Amino acid sequence: TDRSIRVGILNLTSDFLAAINERYISMRKGTRYENVRQFDGRVFVAATREGYTESEIARVFSVSRQAVHASVERLIALKLLERRAIPGNRRDKRIALSERGIHASQTVNQHIAAVEAECAAIIGVDNFQTFRLQLELISTTMKQRVKSTPQA
């Protein structure tokens, strides 16, 4: 009997993400950010969005606060992020882009646009836009289902 496991969407998306991450890594070669870890890149992108705290980023990524703290420390050492006080909260700090981080985020946006253009060149612009919209729909719907499913 065939004992192989069907290649499911999780495997396909994992392979897709690995290929895209390799492309991003190649774009950073020769820059001061060449050795930035993949997870640090995710934390950096999160910092560009909402002004999360370390605890909030940990919840979003389902990792420990310590892992996020270590990542933030590495990004602060690169002068990409900074911690900002939250009025009325002595413990938590918002993670925000520094001046250098703002400049780096513009480069990141250029890299994202370049990789997305490469993807569109492979499957066509219209197909890529459809792919992107469908990914957003699936992601949003699955997150809502997880939130509404009672915990055992």
DSSP 85: E
| DSSP 8-state class, residue 97 | E
| Residue 42 structure tokens | 């995710």
Roughly how many angstroms between the first and final C-alpha of the chain, as a whole number? 35
What average pLDDT does the segment 106-119 reach?
95
pTM, two decimal places: 0.77
Q: Which residue has the tokens 């002595």?
A: 90
Helices within the chain (DSSP H only):
9-28, 38-49, 54-61, 65-77, 99-123, 125-148
User: How distant is the alpha carbon of residue 75 from its chain centre?
Assistant: 14
Of 46, 71, 79, 80, residue with least CA distance to 60: 46
Average pLDDT, the chain: 91
Query: pLDDT-based confidence at 152, cuts 50/70/90?
Result: low
The pair of structure tokens assigned to 77 is 């050492």
Distance between CA atoms of residues 15 and 22, nearest Å: 11
Tens digit of each residue's pLDDT (9 = 90 or more) over 79-97: 999 999 999 988 889 999 9
* Distance (Å, whole) CA 55 – CA 38: 19
